[in-house]
Amino acid sequence: MEKTKKELIFFIILLVSLLNAQFSKVDVTMDDRLLKDDDRQILINLKNEVSRFFINNKWDEEWTDLEIKLNIQIIFEGTATKNGKKNFLAQALISTNEDQRFFDNSLQFPFNPGSSLYYDPVMFEPLPSFLSYYANMILAGEIDTYEPNEGSKQYEIARSIALRGTSSNFPKGWSKRVQLTDDMSSNYGLRKARFAYYYALDLFKDGEIEESINQFNSMIKGIDEVYDRIPREHYTLYFLKSHATELSQILQILRQNDILQSLMDLDPSNRDIYEDGLK
């Protein structure tokens, strides 16, 4: 009976945490073919730890029900010894099921068999800090879709983590991450375009057609702002690629040929999709 009560309490706690989760599902895959058998054994519980790390942490007090689905692929390149300790070298691809994706080729971290990953907002630890950095980068982009530039707080947290990384004993890659944060947070054109797109979708679903069209036009203006600074900017292209089909279908329904034509010019890689909308 006592065991049943404990199981029920655990289930309730787990359910409440999932209902208030910033990350609701985290799929982790690992390619460890380049590692020795002994090294693979060290990492045997890493996938579960990474998933637990994202889901169980409360990353923000206000934005508690985002339920982001995350995909993480870790590709191990080998190991290196530093200060008598074995460190794993890897690349990582972190993406959502929507329109955010980050590739990092400079992951370096120690890991002990049976280790647990813990989030510390102040102390730097190579792997937890790496994961925390990208958690906040993803959160920043997601929160921006609800309120204009509302993800700035998360960008600042990510930047502070990266700065601690540059002065740590594991500085590899952290200067690039500082720059990435600066690039993403100052890319106000893309941030404007992302908010306008999701707001336009909500308005379209609610039948507020005129205002929806206005927001789609704001999205185009945001992308123009990006390209005025950096033509064919990588993260903007990925945003457009992720939504090209849906944009084409909705703009076809709205008969917004001018916007479709603008998208053909801004995103020639998906020109065929937009042409279908014009047809």
Q: Which pTM value belongs to this model?
A: 0.92
**Which amino acid is located at 177 in the chain?**
R
Neighbour count for residue 93 (Cβ, 10 Å): 15
Q: 180: closest CA among 106, 121, 76? A: 106
Q: DSSP for 49-60?
A: HHHHHHHHS---
Structure token digits, residue 233: 């900017």
Residue 164 tokens read as 């601690």
Per-position pLDDT tens, the chain of length 279: 554 544 544 444 444 444 457 999 999 999 999 999 999 999 999 999 999 999 999 999 999 889 999 999 999 999 999 878 899 999 999 999 999 999 999 999 999 988 899 989 889 999 999 999 999 999 999 999 999 999 999 999 999 999 999 999 999 999 999 999 999 999 999 999 999 999 999 999 999 999 999 999 999 999 999 999 999 999 999 999 999 999 999 999 999 999 999 999 999 999 999 999 998
Question: How many of the other CB atoms lie within 10 Å of CB of 33?
Answer: 8
Distances (CA, A) of 57 to 97, 139, 143, 200, 225: 20, 13, 17, 31, 36
Q: What angle do CA 37, 43, 44 make, to 5 degrees?
A: 85
Sequence length of the chain is 279
